């Protein structure tokens, strides 16, 4: 919900709890992205992200490889979660929220100074969350606590410590995977004839995603112009439990039933995986003049290590269920005891470890050519070193490779009217490391590939007028991704070439208005045109399935009375629109489309000095709508919630 008013951003997947990539997926400028950055450095989870410790979410658009590298972000951009920080006065808030489908949520935010001189500050945010699915089975519950401590040693040296402990348990959300190897019979959710209020799981098929995110920062003022900033982060995330999903295959296993879109396959496996990410970053931040040119510079070094150990069972095909037959007797047979029995006789368990390192150096400088014209130039170098993965069952090692990449960035901002109207343009680069492939023409030896490259050209306008009552950003972007690998056959040999490319271009508008005191208007629109330009015939000239809807719009209008007997009372109304979403598009399958939708929400509230009370209705019209990425996931029906908060 927190990112629904970010133009052009759309959720593709709910959290799955899978090892390494179990967090939610979102589309941004035609590419899939996950929330992997906290306070500008790695902060990862395999499960959900609790909002209680979030100060704000920065959606940074475009391939930002220069400052953030390649390992954790997307060609479409990144989501940087900025956490709450301690402040100097005593204060806090305790709240309770209750709502439909068993929603029960308690949060607490307490801040205090630990010393009289306010040099030591502590803030603790905590949350308990529990809700069930709107379907016939399913739930999620979590406990979260985030202590944050700051210490000012003297006028030049300060420290910040932020720690997040998250413990969650949930069932997998129903994501219906479509067949990927044959022509689809149904081409829309309605044509499937499926009851999406059934979960196809049970409440004892669950997974846990305990996560610890540690962030440590030291700032030391070297001089009046330079500051040293040292960041240390560590993320420990685990996936423990049962992962289940459903998929339309080719009919019955014996071949007696022809290919159809009525018989769904239920798969389950047990996962036990731990991933530890360590990042050390040293920045030197300067604000100085060379002649008449003011420079604001960041130069730094970054080291990141990602180490994973997995001990997982094989995927087991549990059974088949007819989705159009409401009383298929097999539906209720999925239980933990039955799954354990199935996994016990399913061979193919895996136990392996992976380890990779990234060494980076970067520099970025914004300098003022004149009072109204500023320019930026940035460059980053990455050395990516992947150690051999180890199969602990056979002790065989494989997959060692390393790559190097340079990532530049350039930008211009010209203030047509100083501090009110600006024109901007930028060139940004991003890259993605690609592992080697085995090629027959080289007798089975690995062939090293180049990193994929993404180049973005963008231009637009920013307005901040009428004494900050109207703020508008409008931009046009064009992204070209090259070095995409694909397999071809030459003289009977399988050969991998890197001549594939993808285009993504579009426009984005973001408006914030405060025409009269108490009235706030937020509106946005994003249009994205993505196409796979050069590829195998199976996907050439088609829209990538990760691109999401082509058109997205959002608006929210709220009013709070600022005086009189109704002071503190307010109301809000808004919603989101998404155009048709092609979630599968290949020559082999054809197109499967999720229909467009408009979802409306509203709230009324009373906000006093010491408490706040609110009632909210989400999806007022009870619209049935879907999200997905080669999958179909029904979204939340209408739900009412009420919350009360006590402030001190």
Rounded-to-integer distance, Cα 3 and Cα 16, Å: 19
Largest CA distance in the chain: 84
- What is the Cα–Cα distance from 341 to 372, expressed in whole angstroms? 71
Tokens (6 digits) for 405: 């990449």
What is the structure's pLDDT at 64?
87
State phi, psi for 189 to the nearest 5 degrees: -55, -35
Q: What is the pTM of this model?
A: 0.92
Q: Please, is 599 exposed, middle or buried when counting C-beta atoms within 10 Å of its C-beta (0-12, 13-18, 19+)?
A: buried
Q: Give the pair of three-digit tokens for residue 330.
A: 């097999």
DSSP string, 274-330: EEEEEEEEEEEEEEEEETTEEEEEEEEEEEEEEEEEEEEPPPEEEEEEETT-TT-TT
- Can you tell me the distance from the alpha carbon of 207 to that of 190, in angstroms, rounded to the nearest whole number? 30
Instruction: Please name which of 53, 35, 52 lies closest in space to residue 44, comparing C-alpha atoms.
Output: 35
Helix runs in 100-241, H state only? 189-192
Q: In whole angstroms, what is the distance from residue 320 CA to residue 331 CA?
A: 9
Number of Cβ atoms within 10 Å of the Cβ of 417: 11
Query: Rounded CA gap, 193 and 205, in Å?
Result: 26
CA dihedral 161, 167, 171, 173 (to 10 degrees): -10
pLDDT of residue 441: 52
In which region does residue 192 sit, left (phi positive, over 0), alpha (psi from -120 to 50) or beta (all else)? alpha
Give the mean pLDDT per block of 10 residues along the chain (648 residues): 91 92 94 94 90 95 85 91 96 97 98 96 98 96 98 97 97 94 93 94 96 97 97 96 90 60 93 96 96 94 96 94 88 95 94 96 95 96 94 91 92 96 96 76 63 96 96 97 86 81 97 96 98 93 95 97 94 98 95 97 97 98 96 97 98
Work out the end-to-end distance of the chain between its first and last CA atoms, rounded to an integer number of angstroms. Answer: 26
In whole angstroms, what is the distance from residue 254 CA to residue 330 CA? 18
Distance, in Å, from the CA atom of 178 to the CA atom of 262, rounded to the nearest integer, reads: 11
What is the per-residue burial (b if ≥16 Cβ within 10 Å, else e) of 323-337? beeeebeebeebeee
- Check residue 443 and give its pLDDT: 46
Q: CB neighbours of 139 closer than 8 A, spacing ≥ 6?
A: 102, 130, 131, 132, 133, 170, 171, 203
Instruction: Give the per-residue pLDDT at 389.
Output: 93
Using CA atoms, how far residue 463 sits from 371, 421, 460, 509, 512, in Å, is: 17, 5, 10, 11, 10
Name the burial class of residue 608, with classes exposed (0-12), middle (13-18) and buried (19+) by CB atoms within 10 angstroms of its CB.
Answer: exposed
Contact call for residues 118 and 145 (beta carbons, < 8 A) = no
Phi, psi of 522 (to 5 degrees): -125, 130
DSSP conformational letter for 114:
S
Q: Hey, CA dihedral for 614, 620, 623, 624, is it positive or negative?
A: positive
Q: Please report how many Cα atoms fall inside a 13 Å half-sphere around the Cα of residue 327, on the Cβ side.
A: 0
Is residue 408 within 8 A of residue 422, CB to CB? The reply is no
Tokens of 74: 């997307």
Q: What is the DSSP letter of 84?
A: P
Please report where in the chains the tokens 């945010």 appear, as a residue.
125
Distance of alpha carbon 135 from alpha carbon 175, whole angstroms: 12
Pull the structure tokens for residue 41.
């450095």
């Amino acid at each position: 919900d927190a990112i629904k008013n970010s133009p052009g951003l759309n959720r593709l997947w709910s959290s799955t709890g899978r090892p390494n990539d179990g967090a939610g997926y979102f589309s941004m400028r035609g590419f899939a992205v996950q929330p992997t950055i906290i306070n500008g450095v790695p902060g990862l989870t395999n499960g959900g992200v609790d909002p209680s410790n979030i100060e704000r979410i920065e959606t940074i658009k475009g391939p930002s490889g220069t400052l953030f590298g390649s390992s954790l972000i997307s060609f479409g951009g990144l989501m940087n979660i900025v956490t709450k920080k301690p402040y100097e006065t005593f204060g806090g808030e305790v709240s309770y929220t209750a709502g439909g489908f068993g929603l029960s949520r308690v949060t607490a935010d307490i801040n205090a100074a630990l010393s009289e001189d306010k040099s030591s500050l502590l803030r603790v945010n905590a949350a308990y969350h529990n809700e069930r699915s709107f379907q016939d089975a399913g739930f999620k519950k979590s406990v979260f606590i985030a202590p944050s401590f700051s210490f000012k040693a003297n006028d030049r040296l300060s420290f910040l410590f932020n720690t997040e402990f998250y413990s969650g348990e949930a069932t997998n959300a129903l994501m219906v995977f479509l067949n990927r190897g044959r022509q689809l019979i149904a081409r829309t959710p309605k044509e499937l004839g499926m009851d999406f209020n059934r979960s196809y799981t049970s409440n004892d098929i669950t997974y846990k995603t305990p996560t610890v995110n540690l962030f440590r920062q030291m700032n030391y003022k070297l001089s009046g112009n330079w500051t040293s900033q040292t960041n240390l982060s560590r993320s420990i995330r685990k996936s423990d439990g049962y992962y289940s999903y459903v998929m339309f295959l080719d009919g019955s296993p014996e071949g007696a039933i022809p290919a159809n879109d009525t018989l769904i396959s239920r798969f389950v496996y047990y996962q036990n995986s731990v991933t530890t990410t360590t990042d050390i970053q040293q920045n030197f931040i300067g604000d100085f003049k060379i002649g008449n040119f003011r420079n604001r510079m960041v130069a730094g070094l970054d080291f990141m290590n990602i180490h994973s150990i997995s001990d997982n069972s094989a995927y087991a095909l549990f059974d088949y269920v007819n989705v159009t037959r409401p009383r298929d007797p097999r539906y209720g047979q999925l239980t933990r005891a039955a799954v354990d029995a199935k996994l016990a006789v399913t061979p193919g368990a895996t136990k392996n470890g992976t380890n990779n390192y990234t060494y980076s150096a970067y520099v970025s400088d914004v300098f003022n050519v004149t009072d109204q014209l500023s320019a930026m130039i940035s460059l980053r170098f990455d050395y990516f070193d992947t150690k051999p993965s180890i199969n602990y069952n056979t002790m065989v090692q494989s997959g060692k490779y390393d790559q190097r990449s340079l990532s530049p960035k350039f930008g211009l901002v010209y203030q047509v009217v100083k501090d009110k109207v600006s024109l901007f343009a930028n060139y940004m680069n991003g890259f993605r490391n690609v592992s080697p492939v085995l090629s027959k023409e080289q007798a089975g030896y690995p062939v090293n590939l180049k990193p994929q490259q993404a180049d973005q050209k963008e231009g637009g306008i920013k307005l901040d007028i009428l004494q900050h009552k109207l703020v508008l950003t409008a931009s046009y972007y064009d992204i070209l991704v090259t070095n995409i690998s694909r397999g071809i056959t030459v003289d009977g040999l399988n050969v991998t070439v890197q001549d594939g490319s993808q285009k993504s271009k579009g426009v984005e508008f973001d408006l914030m208005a405060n025409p009269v005191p108490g009235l706030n208007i937020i509106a946005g629109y994003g249009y994205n045109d993505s196409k796979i330009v050069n590829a195998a015939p199976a996907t050439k000239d088609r829209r990538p399935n990760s691109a999401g809807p082509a058109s997205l719009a959002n608006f929210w209008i709220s009013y709070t009375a600022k005086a009189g007997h109704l002071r503190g009372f307010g109301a809000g109304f808004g919603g989101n629109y998404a155009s048709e979403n092609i979630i599968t598009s290949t020559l082999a399958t054809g197109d499967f489309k999720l229909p467009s939708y408009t979802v409306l929400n509203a709230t009324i509230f009373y906000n006093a000095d010491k408490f706040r009370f609110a009632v909210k209705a989400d999806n007022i019209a009870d619209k049935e709508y879907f999200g997905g990425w080669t999958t179909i996931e029904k979204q939340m029906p209408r739900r009412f919630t009420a919350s009360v908060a006590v402030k001190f």
